[in-house]
A and B are shown apart, each in its own frame.
Chain A
Amino acid sequence: MVDTLTPVLTDLWDAELGWKLATYEERGGYAALDVAFAMSPDDVITAVKDSGLRGRGGAGFPTGMKWSFIPQDNPKPKYLVVNADESEPGTCKDIPLMMGNPHVLVEGVILSSYAIRANKAFIYIRGEVVHVIRRVQAAVAEAYAAGHLGSNIHGSGYDLDVVVHAGAGAYICGEETALLEGLEGRRGQPRLRPPFPAVAGLYASPTVINNVESIASVPAIVKNGAAWFGSMGTEKSKGHGIFSLSGHVQKPGQYEAPLGITLRELLDLAGGVREGHQLKFWTPGGSSTPLFTAEHLDVPLDFEGVAGAGSMLGTRALQIFDETVCVVRAVLRWSEFYKHESCGKCTPCREGTWWLVQALARLESGQGSEEDLDQLLDQCDNILGRAFCALGDGATSPVTSSIQHFREEYLAHLEQGGCPFDPARSTAWSGQEVSA
């Protein structure tokens, strides 16, 4: 039986100097390099395929398969780009990972680059996290000094250079083709696909883009084997993943567990919902994934389980809201986010997110009528599937799912001519204030 929590990537986080090379090496860090260098690059790809690792950045695409799409007969250089933009609301796992254990990412970058035969890799980190950037910069510098990066790594004949690149504030740059635009020094607007990045990505060369956690999972797979990884998780969603609990829970934080754990189990570990309150709604994978309610406490949090229940596993960003929270307020705020972050390239999203905010703001203030709800759903219909990239689709998720689960609450705003909730009751300090 596999344990309920399975710290792999988080295992080093309670070490005193977890970010230092010495700490990482004491625990066997960088040992996977020699294992990989004794294998052919294709065999490394096969190992990752066999492990069942699926992308941890949201979409869950099989990582080994993505790597195998790189056309090795293409004479252009190959590139690995790590997506460290982490900006999906609720998502907060890659940032502590890079702060506490940056070397596992660097080791993963070396293994992954070797597998796809890249000699240059980029780590694109959102700009708004200076200390995390310091830690990754230093880890790369230490890895060079120790001969884990540079030319002829460990005498293998394999060369790799890594550049740490800071973004400058744009959620859309987490979308992989917009990220490439940013990395080429342009406005971060998504590219038309095909061609896919595997064929024509960075500088129109074959490029693999993977999430931080995906790449950081590779060293243990290479070292411990595909079967070890596959012994955790469920049939189609294998391995460990970091689950991020935030909001109205007793112990918010990062919980690394096999995929397939349920929110009920996680809440149990986290001491439950905030004392004296009940679960109202939650996001399984960030704000772009349709909301769940207490009905969904036992949904297995793996790709199939969450999709089967009508949402998406996304980034395992479990934002927990109790009964004090107005769902209309929450959805309006997320919609303002999407409107602000829409890159403006396509009309359905640029105009649509603007309209969603207008309509929701009216409803939240108690104006309008029940027909406005149907109009909102219509607007979502006009965005979903017609937007140029998944940002637009994601913007509709909170709106449609909240109307599905909480239509009555929207109507209550209309009946009362305003919001029936007191926002002061939701704050982290509300317990202290009402104590008498």
Chain B
Amino acid sequence: MSNQPSANQLDDKTIAELREIAARYPEPRSGLLPMLHLVQSAQGRITPEGIEACAAILEISAAEVNGVATFYTMYKRHGVGDYHVGVCTNTLCAVMGGDAIFQRLKDHLEIGNDEVAAQRQGDSRTVSLEHIECNAACDYAPVVMVNWEFMDNQTPESAVQMVEALRVGHDVSSTRGPKLCTWREAERVLAGFPDGRVDEGPTAGTASLAGLEIARERGWSAPDPSVAPAKEPTDG
């Protein structure tokens, strides 16, 4: 290899973990998506070195890896903040206030879509902002995701308070999940390396339980299997 080792070279541990991901699959290339998550965790973004490393392990070209990395929106070419804030502006959330939340955060952080806010004196952490598509939490609209953890039922005020707390380094917890970790830590979980936070947070959030609570109050349940019809019921 004629390449000079650069400051961005992946360390041996990361290379070993990339190989470990590829080995989970009957065909190693299947590991590429989680491998790219691990690259982001190790390097803070998709780097040329990370692409080369994946290509070498999978014995495919860097151009092929690059083609995959550019297809998926979670892969970032440029760095994001320690806390990446995604405001859902798909129709339902937008209407319920997501558009107003996104506008307020842009104004407050003085940035546009997909940018990192300046780190002020005294800030211990950085935040970045992006608008995102439906994140499968519409019953909690308007929804904000931070490092892909749910922050349900937000308002412009609550969202501003949240990013301020994050910037100065206070602990913030997902509204139905764990204490927020950094974006790079979250990317490691996506690569398939659990972080031990699984038992934080509730079984379900309030909205998820709406129907179940009514069923409990009224004594409704699925039919008792011991008295279920012995054969197929015929309609009519």
Query: Which residues on A are within 8 Å of B, measured CB to CB?
Result: 2-8, 10-20, 50, 77, 86-92, 94-96, 99-101, 120, 126-131, 133-135, 137-138, 141, 163-171, 182-188, 203, 220, 223-228, 230-232, 234-235, 240, 243-247, 251-257, 269-270, 287, 317, 319, 321, 325, 329-330, 333-334, 337, 340-341, 423-424, 426-429
Contacts and interface: CB of A to CB of B under 8 A. Distances in A.
B189 A130 contact: yes
Contacts of B148: 127-130
Nearest to A185: B32
A231 B212 contact: no
Contacts of A183: 30
Interface stretch (B6-14, B121-129, B162-170, B215-223): B215-223
B137 A92 contact: yes
Interface of B: 24-27, 29-34, 36-37, 58, 67-68, 71-75, 86, 89-92, 94-97, 99-100, 132-142, 145, 147-150, 153, 155, 174, 176-178, 186, 189-192, 194-195, 197-199, 201, 203-216, 218, 220-223, 225, 228-233, 235-236
Closest 10 CB pairs of A and B: A253-B210, A185-B32, A255-B211, A18-B203, A168-B72, A246-B138, A169-B73, A3-B220, A224-B225, A169-B74
A130 B186 contact: yes
A168 B134 contact: no
Nearest to A77: B26
Contact of B138 (A12, A127, A167, A244): A244
Contacts of A254: 139, 207-212
B178 A100 contact: no
A138 B194 contact: yes
Given A7-B211, A227-B231, A254-B207, A166 B133 contact: no
Nearest to A183: B30
A341 B134 CA distance: 12
A166 to B, nearest CB: 4
A141 B140 CA distance: 30
A369 to B, nearest CB: 26
22 contacts: A3-B220, A4-B218, A5-B220, A17-B203, A87-B134, A91-B134, A91-B136, A95-B136, A96-B204, A131-B149, A131-B198, A137-B198, A186-B29, A225-B228, A227-B232, A227-B233, A231-B229, A232-B223, A235-B235, A247-B96, A337-B91, A427-B96
A87 B136 contact: yes
A5 B203 contact: no
Contacts of A141: 194
Contacts of B191: 166
A368 B183 CA distance: 45
A165 B231 CA distance: 39
A423 B99 contact: yes
A365 B134 CA distance: 24
Given A184-B29, A185-B30, A131 B134 contact: no
A252 B27 contact: no
A89 B92 contact: yes
Contacts of A333: 89-91, 94
B141 A247 contact: yes
B71 A170 contact: yes
Nearest to A12: B203
B33 to A, nearest CB: 5
Contacts of A15: 203
Contacts of B26: 77, 120, 203
A231 B235 CA distance: 10
Given A185-B29, A337-B133, A130 B212 contact: no
A253 B74 contact: no
